[in-house]
A = this chain, B = another copy of it.
Amino acid sequence: MSTTLRSMRLSASRCSPLRAGPSSASGTLRLAGARYSSSTAQDPMTGELAKLPDIEPSLLEITRTQQPKRPPPPSSLVFGHTFTDHMLTVPWQILEGWGKPKIQPYGPLAVEPSATVFHYAHCLFEGLKAYRDTNGKVTLFRPDMNMKRMNTSAERIAMPTFNGEAMVELMKELVRMDKHWIPDQPGYSLYIRPTMIGTQPALGIAPPKEALLFVICSPVGPYYPQGFKPVALYGTTEYTRASPGGIGAYKLGANYAAGVAAQKAAAQKGYVQNLWLQGPEHHITEVGTMNAFVVFKRSDGSVELVTPPLDGIILPGVTRDSVLALAREHSAGKIRVPELTDKLVVSERPVTMKEVKEAAQKGDLVEFFGTGTAAVISPVDRIGYLGEDVHIPTGPDGMGPISRPLWKHLTGIQTGAIPHPWAVEV
């Protein structure tokens, strides 16, 4: 069933037999087990180390599923529970570089119990969405940003980096194959999850010598199917998400396992999510797994949109960057975001919970919201802080005067209603 796609442009890369071989009879992709040889990395005559192969889209091998699934009714979708028919895999070995990319039927990975990922959390991921517009055109939203960040994450835990543009090409192919999984209803999209794991079957604590990059896709509905529902946050001071010199600025699995306890504690206290407050001054850093934005009314009549700076403990979110960019271009008069005030000032600066609380007391707190790929914008109406609740205004639609127009404009770009280079056609 295996066919190699496209006429091959001859690649200079020297790919040796791959550890991630063809799917076995049971549909399980087998990884690891054999030993690597050093022959491909070092020239036996000159002793020179060869430049190892990067990810090469022209080598893509496609195995189509023989049992295509029927996409479930859109209304039944739960975030990240349903996956499409195919997945993309690219294996890596330290002495051979990146191997042959494969698109194959979605199914379990066979991983040695000694694999790095199970013991030392060598795992990292990205999240982006494919949207289908009313004309049927499918686009990815800023995939270059995700690939850039994925490489930064990989470097932080001594895992392999790769050509991001090549990965975008491969993801496009995967989305083209499974695009019928994007439900044909407004607000729906295909959530794409590129993931990298360490697969070396050895227990020594060191940079893994083998890895697997894989991409899976999940059809998802609007985060708020009945309109925006503002959430209540619990201001977490008992746990820390990140610290200077740590990994908070990287999209590593390790940040998420460590954060679940705070999320659980917030839920037990009756809040939907937690707000990470950092250090003795309770600096606002992130909202659960989203970036945080606050809007203040200022005495000169202007409105300030604030998000904490990328100081090493904040995740550089793609939605964060997009909201900042649109707001700044609007402020500078370069674009016009409809319904957004002209008196907008955009700040990346530290902001403490004390400042938020005092602004709320004085009536100067306009909005508080989180941004992220899954929800895009998530308004907040209440923050539990040191035993008291700080209340935050929200409009009848759940949003506020700054988040509403920014959300409309951003989702307009994502869904193709507003033409923009951020939307990349597959």
Contact = CB atoms under 8 A, between A and B. Distances in A.
Interface of A: 24-26, 28, 30-33, 78-81, 83, 87, 106-114, 117-123, 125, 156-158, 191, 193, 195, 197-198, 201-207, 214, 216, 218, 238-240, 243-247, 252-261, 263-264, 288-289
B108 A203 contact: no
A121 B263 contact: no
A253 to B, nearest CB: 3
Contacts of A246: 239-240, 243, 246, 258
Nearest to A33: B108
Contacts of A264: 158, 207
Given A106-B113, A110-B109, A112-B108, A253 B216 contact: no
Contact of A26 (B25, B111, B158, B260): B25
A382 to B, nearest CB: 21
B263 A258 contact: no
A156 B261 contact: yes
Given A113-B87, A244-B240, A120 B256 contact: yes
A347 to B, nearest CB: 27
24 contacts: A24-B28, A78-B202, A79-B203, A83-B114, A87-B113, A113-B216, A118-B197, A118-B253, A119-B125, A119-B193, A119-B256, A120-B257, A121-B121, A121-B253, A121-B255, A122-B257, A191-B203, A193-B203, A198-B257, A207-B264, A239-B246, A240-B246, A243-B243, A252-B257
Contacts of A258: 121, 157, 246-247, 252, 254
Nearest to A264: B158
A347 B162 CA distance: 49
Nearest to A252: B257
Contacts of A243: 240, 243, 246
A247 B252 CA distance: 15
A23 to B, nearest CB: 11
Contacts of A206: 260, 263
A100 B216 CA distance: 31
Contacts of A30: 26, 28, 108
A374 to B, nearest CB: 9
Nearest to A125: B119
A80 B121 contact: no
Most buried by B among A81, A117, A121, A123: A121
A358 to B, nearest CB: 25
A105 to B, nearest CB: 11
A149 to B, nearest CB: 15
Contact of A205 (B110, B111, B158, B263): B263
B111 A108 contact: yes
Nearest to A119: B125
A12 to B, nearest CB: 29
Contacts of A261: 156-158
A288 to B, nearest CB: 8
Nearest to A246: B240
Contacts of A106: 113
Most buried by B among A83, A107, A125, A243: A243
A114 B112 CA distance: 17
A315 to B, nearest CB: 13
A207 B117 contact: no
B193 A257 contact: no
Given A120-B253, A253-B254, A110 B108 contact: yes
Nearest to A32: B108
A117 B30 CA distance: 18
Contacts of A158: 260-261, 264
Contacts of A207: 260, 264
Given A120-B253, A202-B80, A110 B28 contact: yes
Contacts of A202: 78, 80-81
A239 B243 CA distance: 10
Most buried by B among A113, A157, A258, A289: A113
Contacts of A263: 205-206
